Structure 1
Amino acid sequence: MNRHLARRALLGLGGAVLSVAVVCAVWQGLISGFGLDPFLTRGPLDVWRYLIDPTHDAERSLLWEATRITARDALVGMAAGTIAAAGTATAFALWRPVEQTLMPVAMALRAVPLVAMTPLIALVFGRGLLSVTVIAGIVTFFPVLVNVSLALRAVPAPALDLMRACGASPYFTLWRVQVPTALPALFAAMRVAAPLALVGALLAEWLTTGRGLGYLMLQAVTTFELDRMWAAVTVVTAASILLYTVISILEQLTLARYAPQQDRRPL
């Protein structure tokens, strides 16, 4: 089994490398195909040369520090949003009136543009990590909530009937039957939410904290430092692909350990 898991992890990393190659090919193809102005646009090779240039040590340090801040902001926000959504979905599964009361409220809040909410969030929670966590958590919360709630209710009726016939409590049934069944939906929602958490962190940095890659890109556009801007965009794209890959690997390890019956991928 360990050999199979290692093979899947390598396949996941290989898929990430292939994704990067496809993105670079499409990127360069758009620049060449549309004849975009080389003064304003940079291709993958331009960004690569910029990043490895020995004279750009200060730029690399600046990008690394901004990347570290954004990665922290996105991961903390994603973790908070996922935990909150999973807890809320569990409450929905146990107490149906709670779902009927709160789900419409959650969907109404989801309809409010995040850009409109950001100044209010900054006013309430300040301009530090807490406000970034709230913003990144919000964009993570809703896809996880909807997917996990549906998965917890999608357990086959015979399995629930069997647990009731055996006298199992709703909590035992939730833990032993519904949660393992919902794990694939949880990880699928996290894969969707990962890029959204990065976007939420960038938005918060742009509008509230004045730190990280979001603010660095805003500064680069303002001062017309296009090499820095394209390098920052490349880092964000690579981080999204990497985060997606890491979640996919964690999904395979978790399902193999806790819900092997839900792991239907070929070995």
Structure 2
Amino acid sequence: MATTGARPAAPAGPQHEALSSASLAASLLRRTAVLLLTLVVSTAVLVAAWYLLLELLDVDPFVGKRPADVYEYLVRDEDAAANREEILSLLATTLAHSTTGFVAGLAGALAVASLFTLLRPLEFAFMPLAMLLRSVPLVAMAPLIGSISGRGLAGAATIGGIVVFFPVLVNTALGLRSASPQAVDLVRVNGGSRLTALRKVALPSALPNLFAAVRISVPGAVIGAMLYEWLFSGTGLGAEIFRANSQVQYSKLWAIVVVVTFSTIVLYTLVSVLETLVLARWGPDAGRR
């Protein structure tokens, strides 16, 4: 008589792995398409809101330039090529300053959040102090920061880094604390150190929080760089936007605002795409199971 029972599962082979890879690639493609569509829709909404707001408030066209005016300045005007070259050159300087501040703030926040996780008393002692410093307006601290760090890259790293440091610190510390206690205990029982538990469990579990903080910090890094340029270096879009305003060059002023805003949206979208790729590799529940 034939025996009945559960049929053993077939081992996963190359075909199964190829199917999983194809499914993952299709999911990434869909998410990336959604992000790019969001970029296009956001740009269209901003342009429409810009035009409607100026019309509703009846702002003088000499001061409040419309989308068509900026397009004329950057694309169709006889000096459009020179205008684009100047603004893009200034944008490159601002993005370099933004990157310096962003990297400095991100590295500092990750280091401090990791220390808070390894040595919990440090978090209880210094997190309230960090939040107190965060409440001080950056403009009020900027002269002191400039006198200490100078006008070079150290100044850009300090001012931009402060803008990035606090949101990344708070969100990353929260993410590190969300690691599964069972997973941490498993690492410790098998001879792993606190540093091993941090690397294998806590950091992967903090990835969603970390990327959320990074998305918030990208526009902040640009703002910090422009503040540094306005107050100290006299270079980049941060200084040029105030020069254009004082010289009544309103077309250039609005063009700078448009370029900065669009660049920030693009950077935000790129971070979102990177987040999708990383979380597809690690999973949103990495380190928690």
> TM-score, normalised on structure 2?
0.86
Q: Secondary structure at the match of 1:54?
A: coil
2:187 is aligned to: 163
Cα deviation for residue 55 of structure 1 reads 2.3
Match of 1:30 in 2: 53
Please state which structure has a larger fraction of its residues in helix. 1
* Matched residue, 1:43: 66
Determine the C-alpha separation between the residues in 2 that align with 1:188 and 1:45: 35
Cα deviation for residue 97 of structure 1 reads 1.6
Task: State the alpha-carbon separation in 2 of the partners of residues 186 and 239 from structure 1.
Answer: 22
TM-aligned CA deviation for residue 119 of structure 1? 1.2
The percent identity for this pair of structures is: 43
Structure with the greater alpha carbon radius of gyration:
2
User: Is 1:200 matched with 2:242?
Assistant: no
> What do you get for the CA RMSD once the two structures are aligned?
1.5
Residues 73 and 83, structure 2, Cα contact 8 Å, conserved in 1: no
Aligned mates of 1:261, 1:70 — CA distance in 2: 33
Tell me the distance in 2 between the aligned counterparts of 1:241 and 1:177: 32
Whole-angstrom CA distance in 1 between matches of 2:149 and 2:184: 43
Q: Secondary structure at the match of 1:185?
A: helix
Shift of 1:131: 0.4
Any idea what the Cα deviations from partners look like across 1:39-71, whole Å, max 9, x if unmatched?
110112211121002323222221011100011
Partner of 2:41: 18
Task: Give me the whole-angstrom Cα distance separating, in 2, the residues matched to 1:76 and 1:190.
Answer: 14
The amino acid of 1:78's aligned partner reads F
Tell me, yes or no, if structure 1 residue 58 matches structure 2 residue 82. yes
Give the Å deviation of 1:209.
0.4
Shift of 1:6: 2.8
Distance 2:90 2:38 in 1: 26
Given the alignment, which residue of 162, 166, 170 partners 1:138?
A: 162
| Structure with greater contact order relative to length (CA < 8 Å, sep ≥ 6) | 1
AA partner of residue 28 (structure 1): Y
CA distance in 2, matches of 1:262, 1:100: 26
Work out the CA distance in 2 between the residues paired with 1:238 and 1:262.
32
- Segments of structure 1 that go 5 or more residues without pairing to the other structure are none
Q: What is the TM-score when the length of structure 1 is the normalising length?
A: 0.93
Gaps (5+ residues) in structure 2? 1-23
Distance in structure 2 (CA, Å) of the matches to 1:134 and 1:262: 34
The reply on whether 1:109 has 2:133 as its aligned counterpart is yes
CA distance in 2, matches of 1:243, 1:261: 22
Q: Which residue of 1 aligns with 2:146?
A: 122
Q: Which moved more, 1:43-52 or 1:103-112?
A: 103-112
Letter in 1 for 2:43: V
**Out of 226, 238, 252, which is 2:262 matched to?**
238
Residue 9 of structure 2 is matched in structure 1 by: none
Between 1:150-159 and 1:19-28, the stretch displaced more is: 150-159
Question: Is the Cα–Cα contact under 8 Å of residues 215 and 268 in structure 2 kept in the other structure?
Answer: yes
Distance in 1, Cα, partners of 2:32 & 2:95: 22
Post-superposition shift, 1:83? 1.1
